[in-house]
């Protein structure tokens, strides 16, 4: 069965989450180095900036390292982020885009999913972006 178009988008967004899950390693050994989604280098977790808290996250740890955050500050300001309320992680960073019925992902904003492949097992086939769910619900439009 082919997944709806938006879901393909979400699926790509979840790539960062899958990467995090892969590097989680052995919990007894403490946090594994974390790969920057921008330069692909590995750094300790404390080398990643924390985002401001949102309604659903307590200051998610960014997917981009401190150095890239500085080097690409301007570009990153023009992107939006997908945050997971389940595990407090950034699971996607993308350029602004429009979805159906006028829903827009805007630069600098954060959107949320309730769970992602890091914190939900088995990994969700489809993760709904909560802001879209509310937008469509308010207008009586089906999500998919
Ligand atoms: Zn980096
Ligand atoms: Zn999660």
71 alpha carbon, closest ligand:
1
Q: Is the dihedral of CA 6, 11, 15, 20 positive or negative?
A: positive
CA 12 to ligand 1 center in whole angstroms:
19
* Token couple for 117: 């492949």
14 alpha carbon, closest ligand:
2
**What pLDDT is stored for residue 6 in this prediction?**
43
68 has pLDDT over 70: yes
- Please state, in angstroms and rounded to a whole number, the distance separating the CA atoms of residues 93 and 49: 14
Query: pLDDT grade, residue 18 (50/70/90)?
Result: confident
2 has pLDDT over 50: no
31 has pLDDT over 90: no
CA 87 to ligand 2 center in whole angstroms:
4
CA 81 to ligand 2 center in whole angstroms:
14
Overall pTM surpassing 0.85 (yes/no): no
As beta bridge partners, residue 81 has 93, 110
* Token couple for 17: 């989450």
* Token couple for 30: 């403490």
**What pLDDT is stored for residue 29 in this prediction?**
60
């Amino acid at each position: 069965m082919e997944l709806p178009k938006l879901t393909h988008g979400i699926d790509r967004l979840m790539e960062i989450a899958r990467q995090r899950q892969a590097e989680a390693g052995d919990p007894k050994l403490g946090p594994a180095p974390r790969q920057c989604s921008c330069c692909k280098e590995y750094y300790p977790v404390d080398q990643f900036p924390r985002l401001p808290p949102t309604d659903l996250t307590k200051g998610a740890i960014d997917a981009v390292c401190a150095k890239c955050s500085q080097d690409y500050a301007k570009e990153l300001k023009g992107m939006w982020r997908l945050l997971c309320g389940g595990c407090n992680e950034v699971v996607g960073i993308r350029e602004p885009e429009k979805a159906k019925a006028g829903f827009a992902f805007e630069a600098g904003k954060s959107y949320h999913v309730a769970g992602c492949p890091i914190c939900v097992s088995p990994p969700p086939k489809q993760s709904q972006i909560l802001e879209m769910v509310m937008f469509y619900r308010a207008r009586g439009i089906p999500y998919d």
